[in-house]
Amino acid sequence: MNKHFTNPRAKNNFVGRTCSIAGVGSYVPDKILTNADLEKMVETTDEWITSRTGIKERRIAAANEFTSDLATKAAERAMKMAGVTAEQIDLIIVATLTPDMPCPSTACFVQHKIGAARAAAFDIGAACSGFIYALEVGQQFILSRTYETVLVIGAEKLSSIVNWTDRNTCVLFGDGAGAAILQHRENSHGLLTAVMGADGNKADLLSVPGGGSKCPATPESVSAGMHYLRMDGKETFKNAVNAMVSAANEAMRRCDIDITKIKCVIPHQANQRIIDAVGDRLKTTPEQLFVNLHKYGNTSAASVAIALDEAVNSGKISRGDLILLVVFGAGLTWGAAVIEW
Ligand code: UT7
């Protein structure tokens, strides 16, 4: 086994047990919405969107294509790569802020659609940080020998909660899903550590205020647009950079490594300027930083999951490489994970 880092898990009781990602997969809808298309919808320009965010286009799900459909397609690709059948899956965790409906969980719809009849299923709500939260939760079941195979998915149909008349937010988001199969693997450390954090005091910076128990859907709440996503972009930006940098540093510190040992850094894809600021402060090289934001915009919980799949399938990451995922989102929430791929 690689000895260029410390495995923080060795300090706990999970002796001889690791949690690796056996397969990844992603799916984005076919429909592309470009910046030029948005110029016809709201008072904006391709120049503004590109220079302030780095986004050129995003994918939009069809009216009859739900978060669980995107999640299912990503899951089937991850299962294929891992060589795992639906019957083998013990648990399905879906990270999403755009579930098919408030109840039941989107994970239950995915369970049915992939035919994983044995699997337990539940959703996690940690907004854009959801995929790392879900990885960390899923890992606990593998390390404790409770389950052998866990399917973790980040999936969003953000187009369903975007106010398409608000230029401050509608240019930023897109739809998609990414999935990973977690299993114990011999001779691999797998997921070495995951830092998770939250600050509920700043919940107002990014939220969907309506549709829950605080503000149930009524004709008034809908006409006031309470069911749309709202964001204080500037404050969110500042918090994102600080939280992502400190989470990434903490994750590397736990493994006794510095940034030079990381083959690929996969940051949450919200804004190119956030990615650049995080990269500057972590002292990454341009080759280390993975970016696909220009193609998909911010896909929230799906963001790093899609990026991980693309990094793996483009050959940017090989087995044995160390990778760093780092995320930030509503809550506020944040996280970072070091993985021996
Ligand atoms: O995934 C969770 C985490 N999400 C994030 O981390 C997102 C964080 N925030 C951001 O990415 C950026 O703050 C934004 C991209 C949302 C905004 O960029 P900014 O540099 O912070 O711009 P701003 O909010 O300060 O707005 C600057 C100006 C405003 O006009 P005035 O008030 O200066 O006249 C906006 O009205 O740009 C205007 N503006 C636009 N103009 C053209 C805002 N949106 C648009 C637009 N097109 N789409």
**Lowest-confidence segment of 124-128, 160-164, 177-181, 316-320 by average pLDDT:** 316-320
Closest-lying ligand 1 atom to the alpha carbon of residue 329: 2
163 and 204 assigned to the same domain: no
CA distance 140 to 50: 40
pLDDT category at 12 given cuts 50, 70, 90 is low
Query: Number of folded domains in the chain?
Result: 2
| Mean pLDDT, residues 291-308 | 98
CA distance 126 to 302: 12
122 and 235 assigned to the same domain: no
168 and 266 assigned to the same domain: no
60 and 203 assigned to the same domain: no
Residues making up the chain, counted from first to last: 341
The 3 state secondary structure assigned to 179-222 is: EEEEECCCCCCEEEEEEEEECHHHHHHEECCCCCCCCCCCHHHH
Q: 3 in a domain, yes or no?
A: no
Instruction: For residue 293, count CB atoms less than 10 angstroms from its CB and return exposed for 0-12, middle for 13-18, buried for 19 or more.
Output: buried
Q: 1 in a domain, yes or no?
A: no
Q: Which of 146, 171, 187 marks a domain boundary?
A: 187
pLDDT at 13: 60
Omega cis (within 30) before 191? no
148 and 283 assigned to the same domain: no
pLDDT at 109: 98
179 and 196 assigned to the same domain: no
Residue 111 CB contacts under 8 Å (≥ 6 apart), including other chains: 92, 117, 119, 121
Q: Which of 187, 212, 246 marks a domain boundary?
A: 187
Q: Which of 149, 171, 187 marks a domain boundary?
A: 187
46 in ligand 1 pocket by Cβ < 6 Å? Answer: no
User: Which residue owns the Cα nearest ligand 1 atom 42?
Assistant: 44
60-117 pLDDT tens trace: 999 999 999 999 999 999 999 999 999 999 999 999 999 999 999 999 999 999 999 9
C-alpha distances (whole Å) from 320 to each of 140, 191, 250 are: 22, 12, 21
CATH number at residue 77: 3.40.47.10
User: Which residue owns the Cα nearest ligand 1 atom 3?
Assistant: 329
Range of the domain at 264: 192-340
106 and 15 assigned to the same domain: yes
Q: Using most ligand atoms within 8 A of CB, pick from 52, 199, 205, 206 the residue to mutate for ligand 1.
A: 52
233 and 316 assigned to the same domain: yes
Structure tokens at 34: 């470009």
51 in ligand 1 pocket by Cβ < 6 Å? Answer: no
Rounded (5°) CA angle 293-284-337:
70
Q: 275 in a domain, yes or no?
A: yes
| Mean pLDDT, residues 175-204 | 95
pLDDT at 9: 74
Running DSSP on this structure, what letter comes out for residue 19? B
CA distance 11 to 14: 8
Rounded (5°) CA angle 85-87-88:
70
326 and 236 assigned to the same domain: yes
Query: Global pTM?
Result: 0.96
User: Which residue owns the Cα nearest ligand 1 atom 4?
Assistant: 270
Structure tokens at 52: 């302030």
Known catalytic residues are 128, 268, 298
Indicate the average pLDDT of the chain: 96
Structure tokens at 191: 């997921």
pLDDT category at 225 given cuts 50, 70, 90 is very high
pLDDT at 3: 59
14-38 pLDDT tens trace: 667 899 999 999 999 999 999 999 9
